[in-house]
Amino acid sequence: MADLRNIVILTGAGISAESGIDTFRGGGGLWEQHRVEDVATPEAFDRDPDLVQRFYDMRREAIQTKQPNPAHEALARLEHEWAAREGRRLLIVTQNVDDLHERAGAENVLHMHGTHLNAWCTQCDVRSRWTGTLIDRPECPECGARALRPDVVWFGEMPYEMERIYAALREADLFVSIGTSGAVYPAAGFVRDAKALGVATLELNLERSQGSNWFDESRQGPASALVPEWVGEVLRKS
Ligand code: APR
Q: What is the pTM of this model?
A: 0.96
Q: For a ligand 1 pocket test, name from 35, 205, 220 the mutation site with the most ligand atoms within 8 angstroms of its C-beta.
A: 205
Q: Which amino acid is at 81?
A: E
pLDDT value, residue 2: 63
Query: Does 113 contact ligand 1 (Cβ within 6 A)?
Result: yes
Q: What is the residue with the minimal CA distance to atom 23 of ligand 1?
A: 13
pLDDT value, residue 13: 96
What domains are there in the chain, each with its CATH number? 1-21+69-113+159-238 (3.40.50.1220), 22-65+116-152 (3.30.1600.10)
Catalytic, 113? Answer yes
Q: Which atom of ligand 1 is nearest to the CA of 25?
A: 21
- Please identify every stretch of the chain with a pLDDT value under 50, giving residue numbers as ranges: none
The Cα 113–Cα 187 span in angstroms is: 10
Residue 59 annotated in ligand binding:
yes
In sequence order, which residues have a C-beta less than 8 Å from that of residue 144 and are 6 or more positions away? none
- The CB density around residue 102, as the number of other CB atoms within 10 Å, is 18
Query: Does 218 contact ligand 1 (Cβ within 6 A)?
Result: no
Burial class (CB in 10 A: 0-12, 13-18, 19+), 10: buried
Q: What is the residue with the minimal CA distance to atom 17 of ligand 1?
A: 180
Provide the H-helix boundaries in the chain: 14-17, 30-33, 36-39, 42-47, 49-63, 70-83, 100-103, 162-171, 190-196, 223-237
